[in-house]
Homo-oligomer: A and B are copies of this chain.
Amino acid sequence: MQARKPTWRPVPFTQVHIAGEFWAPRLKVNRERTIAAQYRQNAETGRIDAFRLAWQPGQKPVPHIFWDSDVAKWIEAASYTLSTHPAPELDAMVDEVVGLVVSAQQPDGYLNTYFSSVQPGKRWTNLRDCHELYCAGHMMEAAVAHYQATGKRVLLDALCRYADHIISVFGPEPGKKRGYCGHEEIELALVKLYRATGEERYLRQAQYFVEERGRQPYYFEIEARERGEQPGTNWYGRPYYDAGNFSYFQAHIPVREQTEVLGHAVRNMYLYSAVTDLAGELNDPELLAVSERVWDDLTLRKMYVTGGIGSTARNEGFTGAYDLPNQEAYAETCAAIGLVFWAHRLVQATGESRYADIMERALYNGVISGVSLDGEKFFYVNPLASDGTHHRQGWFDCACCPPNLARLLASLGQYLYSTGDDGLAVHLYAQGEARANLPDGSPLTLRVQTRYPWEGQVQLIMGLEGPADFALRLRVPGWCRECSLRLNGQGMQHSLEKGYAVVRRTWQPGDAVEIEFPMPVERIEAHPAVAQDRGRVALQRGPLVYCLERADHPLDVRQIALPDEATFQARFDPSLLGGVVVIESQGLAPEPSSWEGKLYRPCEASPGRNVPLRAIPYPTWDNRQPGEMAVWLPRA
């Protein structure tokens, strides 16, 4: 197999300014409300104080095994915010929390509130269930973010000590435990720590954790026996999901042998993000092939049209191929975020637009559906239909999703652009500006004018110090049937490489490229093996999937069918949901009187009654009065 080194490197979010009516309000709310609200939630629930290690037996609440990760993600999100929007007050808050975190570190480097206060003496005895290395990983990501944002090394140094402690405990060497975490995360975090510090041992440890996973004898069985428990049973003594073969943890077979996405969704996303990182860092084409093959299983058989993943709450993860129930969907916000993480890495590794297509699909739909427009309420679960009882909440006992959204949005800029050996690539289109260095070392300031995703016209203006030779790659979205490109007002031909429109030339300062992606309303159908979507269509316009919400209709929208011959009007409504393009059409609703006293009947050719239909972007649902919602509309 031929080695492939990564094609692109992301332009850091600190070099990217995102403006425009779609993202700017969301990012502002994230900075100004979400970060503050999540600090309050972390503080009020005792998560921050837990680092004082002052918990006494009998005291409520009892610190939970994954509390550390919630605080870590808040530090990470706040640090990203400080990188782009310095704020002394927030800086001081972060310093205070960081100080508390560091104060909880044990003399040997160990750093975990639960096992330092609630269960002292039990550390590293249950990697399968206790999220210990997972929490470590999140704190490493926080440490790297804090260091990069502020230049302060205190948390980074603490986490390097912790990482060194972990290296001393886990590994293939004699005398070490051959363990790995039940919930992946530390693998990708150690890669980040390696990149931030240059210390190769962190990369090697990430590699160890990935390579050891799923090997026999199973570590989870070894440690269960050491605890005096039956291997393959959970805390309640009942069998683990998936018949106890550890596929719930992606630990049933070695990672290099895996071909399917199985078990817990978020764990998969974090694992394969790390696998893709390692493929690049180690220049290991086999690992990249694993990542791409599992990706295909996910995106061709187990992904919602919103980019949500994980069909069931049972295992917070995957079921069989093509099993995508809508109202019962789990589609955890964190899983869609994890999908963005993985997609982003595959984009860099391969330069192929199909990964960016999924990144865009998830980001615009199943990720940002997770947060309310006011930035203070969150979905953990993102179904594609609702009976009107599913609503966002301010926080959760298991609060992984809210701070995950916060850190993603606070670093959104990094997903838009990459630089490579021959120039710059644009993966996602948003009004704003990016600063990058060209292959010859000269600076480029790219100014982007667009109303994307509401309109498909994008203008890109080259801010250059002088003429420069480089290739500009503009992703042609997978949803786009044809696009046209103009240079300084003149139509021009372009080549299409790996799904990107490529213009190679000597650019002049001020050169303007215009590209247009027409955005008709598309009826989307799912693969015929998806029973739940058979005979149904979803509406998509540009990257946005639409839904019907009760607030716009006089009846349960799950019953409204869309005639095949219906036409659409797309119209920007500045007063609705912060300003959205709505899709208007004519639907058909069943005549309730014709169903009175019946659950089944011989088919009747009853057309039903016409109802005006108004679809709104999926991520904006549940921001008005409660009611039913549906993405997949029956065809009529």
Q: Which residues of A contact B (CB under 8 A)?
A: 236, 238, 299-301, 303, 305, 320, 325-327, 385, 387, 481, 522-532, 534-538, 556, 558-559, 561, 590, 595, 597-604, 634-635
Contact = CB atoms under 8 A, between A and B. Distances in A.
A540 to B, nearest CB: 8
Contact of A531 (B320, B558, B600, B602): B558
B537 A536 contact: no
Given A523-B603, A531-B532, 19 more contacts: A236-B236, A300-B598, A303-B599, A327-B531, A481-B602, A522-B603, A523-B602, A524-B601, A525-B602, A526-B600, A527-B598, A528-B590, A528-B595, A528-B634, A529-B559, A534-B561, A534-B634, A535-B536, A538-B600
Given A524-B603, A537-B603, A602-B524, A597 B529 contact: no
Contacts of A635: 535
A601 B535 contact: no
A100 to B, nearest CB: 34
A243 B424 CA distance: 55
Nearest to A298: B599
Q: How many copies does the complex hold?
A: 2
17 contacts: A325-B325, A326-B531, A327-B531, A385-B531, A523-B602, A525-B604, A526-B599, A526-B600, A527-B599, A528-B561, A528-B590, A528-B595, A529-B558, A530-B599, A532-B532, A535-B536, A535-B635
B597 A300 contact: yes
Contacts of A556: 529
Given A236-B236, A527-B595, A595-B527, A600 B305 contact: yes
A602 B527 contact: no
Contacts of A385: 531
Closest 8 CB pairs of A and B: A535-B535, A528-B590, A523-B603, A534-B634, A525-B603, A528-B559, A522-B602, A535-B634
Contacts of A327: 531
Given A236-B236, A556-B529, A599 B535 contact: no
Nearest to A237: B236
Contacts of A537: 603
Contacts of A301: 599
Contacts of A527: 595, 598-600
Contacts of A522: 602-603
Most buried by B among A481, A559, A597: A559
Contacts of A530: 599
